[in-house]
């Protein structure tokens, strides 16, 4: 299974949520892959700064993610940017969520891990598949 991680998933993983951790453990064991859009990383750090979360703890999480070749950070490029703009306008979705959705689609991810209502809306429109909990 190839997953794309929304910021929400990274926050849950940082909190050691059981379900998020199982997906990560399966990834480490080679049963799945996780794609992380750089915008999700940006949001994770921004939320952590706002809430007073230790950036050392966030760096530790990122180091854990980098341990395996099965986790890939995807940088926003021209192709994803164009698709995200189309998604944002066509479906009335905020820019950040459009970038995450377009990254999921163009990275070949089968499932987007999210709890975000705007991304759930895209799932209902059949743009992407999500796993929501």
User: For 29-116, where are the alpha helices, taking DSSP H only?
Assistant: 38-51, 55-66, 78-91, 95-106
Q: Which residues contact 111 (CB under 8 A, 6 or more apart)?
A: 1, 2, 3, 4, 129, 130, 131
Q: Is the pLDDT of residue 133 over 80?
A: no
Taking the model in full, what pTM does it have? 0.91
Check if the beta carbon of residue 6 is closer than 8 Å to that of residue 119.
yes
**How many angstroms separate the CA atoms of 75 and 92, rounded?**
23
**Per the structure block, which two tokens stand in for 25?**
């453990």
CATH class of the domain at 2-131: alpha beta
Kindly report, residue by residue over 48-90, the tens digit of the pLDDT.
999 998 889 899 988 888 888 899 999 999 999 999 999 999 9
Kindly report, residue by residue over 5-25, the tens digit of the pLDDT.
999 999 999 999 999 999 999
């Amino acid at each position: 299974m190839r997953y794309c991680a929304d910021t929400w998933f990274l926050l849950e993983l940082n909190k050691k949520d059981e379900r998020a951790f199982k997906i990560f453990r399966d990834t480490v064991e080679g049963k799945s892959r996780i794609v992380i859009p750089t915008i999700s990383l940006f949001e994770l750090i921004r939320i952590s700064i706002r809430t007073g979360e230790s950036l050392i703890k966030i760096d530790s999480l990122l180091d854990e993610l980098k341990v395996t070749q099965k986790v890939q950070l995807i940088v926003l490029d021209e192709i994803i940017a164009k698709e995200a703009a189309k998604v944002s306008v066509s479906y009335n979705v905020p820019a950040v969520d459009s970038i995450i959705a377009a990254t999921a689609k163009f990275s070949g991810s089968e499932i987007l891990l999210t709890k975000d209502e705007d991304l759930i809306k895209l799932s209902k429109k059949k743009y992407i598949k999500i796993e929501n909990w």
